[in-house]
Amino acid sequence: MRPSLIIPRLRSQCAIFSNRVAGAASLKHALMQDDFSVPHAFVVRAPMEVGQPMLSDLDQGINLGFAVAIAVSNTADDRGQDASEALADCIAEIAAALIGWTPNGALFAPILLVGETGDYTDWTRARAWTQLDFTASSTTAAL
């Protein structure tokens, strides 16, 4: 899935991020430093899954995946409870903005949430992270 479709949607629908939604290059920088404003969301492409040919060898069903990484502050308390609550608020807004939304009209089926792949070992004293994985099915015509 093209980040250029997802990023504007999140910026317009998720007030919690105050327009702080970026792509993969910004995510790489953010993972190396803690000097960025939070909460922040980062949209990255994920590998596509390709099905068997349908009507002809030129028409296959595909699942275009993408992920939304979320960073929030983890400085409020030693237990990370406030960070967990902030992540839950971010997840709720992202889910409301994306689940069931059909980008690009008839080219895609509605977006579905695949799951959360957050890892608590990625948390620092400054930032807490999680990642939501999404997919939307289409055919090769949408590529």
Read off the pLDDT of residues 77-127 as tens digits, 9 standing for 90 and up: 878 899 999 999 999 999 999 999 998 766 788 999 999 987 766 788 899
Using pLDDT thresholds of 50, 70 and 90, give the confidence band for residue 53: low
Coil, strand or helix: which one is 39? coil
Q: Tell me the C-alpha distance between 139 and 22, whole Å.
A: 27
pTM for this structure? Answer: 0.88
Per-residue confidence (pLDDT) for residue 141, from 0 to 100? 54
Contacts of 98 (CB under 8 A, 6+ apart): 6, 9, 10, 68, 111, 113, 134
Other beta carbons within 10 Å of 108: 20
| Structural domain boundaries enclosing 41 | 3-142
CATH number at residue 131: 3.30.2000.10
Could you give phi then psi for residue 78, rounded to 5 degrees? Answer: -70, -25
* Number of domains the chain contains: 1
Q: Tell me the C-alpha distance between 79 and 63, whole Å.
A: 38
